[in-house]
Homo-oligomer: A and B are copies of this chain.
């Protein structure tokens, strides 16, 4: 044992990879830091987490993660301000959602102190990895998967909770055009769409690839029964602005309760922007695009924060959404990132100081 931080045992890496990293040209989620948090569920309970050197995971080939997709994750970011203070954004909401996801996937829920103290200890050990560059941050990936063995299709008896971190630049490069999906679906009523479950993402890759082949970057998912309602964009929630009103769909058992999504709703309302949380039909969006009242469309999520959409395809027609001055997307993104990076006041109490 090298040290204890927040009651978390720290085993330090003998060398660092940080000198090989070009912090001015970061991509997303490819370069991992020197350490990770590791915590095992066995003998019926979560064991004490440890910060250990970032290292490979060794699993039996019959580990249930390989066969039955029992895994959940979160996405978070840490920022370093001009004074070198480290900030998180609503981390307890990520913790709570992780347990909501776990429950639906029959994974044992995690104690809050293991998550929060473990995360803070890891961020202290890898503090030098948190970028200060505009537009960059330390992307944090907490995840849990079934490490228990056996081919019986039932919940595992052992799990691993890991937090790994990757200094990252922007998620999307260039413009984002989306295809409104008419055939494939992301989630079912009564399914796991509201959870950050691994399987929700793999199922999107093939339809997304078909959309990419047609010249789009992302799919806008619609309900699986009628394909008449707009639900979610791949790894993001979706907002549309019709005239001056900002609209997003309500959360449901098919739609992720996004932390960026709910922050945008609250922030926009506080700035006097009219916000509606209600079902959005594809036909109203198409109609608004035709008559010029569709002013903006953007995705919202931790990875991309706010990602403006420059056009969409539907039933073999393309609709442009011309860039506008005073767009809500850039206004809201600036406000949120200023709060996240401690450049502005935080009237909502969203910012969380790591100390």
Bound-state Cα–Cα, A36 to B171, Å: 38
Contact with B along A66-83 (1 / 0, CB 8 A): 111111010100000000
- Which A residues from 299 to 349 make CB contacts under 8 A with B? 303
Q: Is A189 an interface residue (CB 8 A)?
A: yes
Contact partner, A69, options B32, B104, B199, Cβ 8 Å: B199
Bound-state Cα–Cα, A248 to B200, Å: 28
Q: Is A185 an interface residue (CB 8 A)?
A: yes
Q: Please state if A149 and B185 are interface contacts (CB–CB under 8 Å).
A: no
Q: Please state if B29 and A224 are interface contacts (CB–CB under 8 Å).
A: no
Bound-state Cα–Cα, A71 to B181, Å: 23
Bound-state Cα–Cα, A61 to B166, Å: 12
In the assembled complex, which residues on chain B have CB atoms less than 8 Å from the CB atom of A352?
none
Q: Please state if A191 and B205 are interface contacts (CB–CB under 8 Å).
A: no
Q: Please state if A155 and B205 are interface contacts (CB–CB under 8 Å).
A: yes
Contact partner, A105, options B67, B153, B186, B206, Cβ 8 Å: B206
**This protein's copies in its complex:** 2
Closest residue on chain B to residue A146 by CB atoms: B202
Closest residue on chain B to residue A102 by CB atoms: B206
Q: Is A145 an interface residue (CB 8 A)?
A: yes
In the assembled complex, which residues on chain B have CB atoms less than 8 Å from the CB atom of A205?
68, 70, 105-106, 154-155
Residues of A within 8 A of B (CB): 28-30, 32, 36, 54-63, 65-71, 73, 75, 103-106, 139, 141, 143, 145-146, 149-155, 162, 164, 166, 168, 171, 181, 183-192, 197-206, 208-209, 224-225, 227, 234-235, 303
Subset of 15 A-B contacts with CB under 8 Å: A55-B61, A57-B59, A57-B61, A59-B59, A67-B73, A67-B198, A67-B201, A105-B202, A106-B205, A183-B190, A191-B203, A191-B224, A192-B202, A199-B199, A199-B200
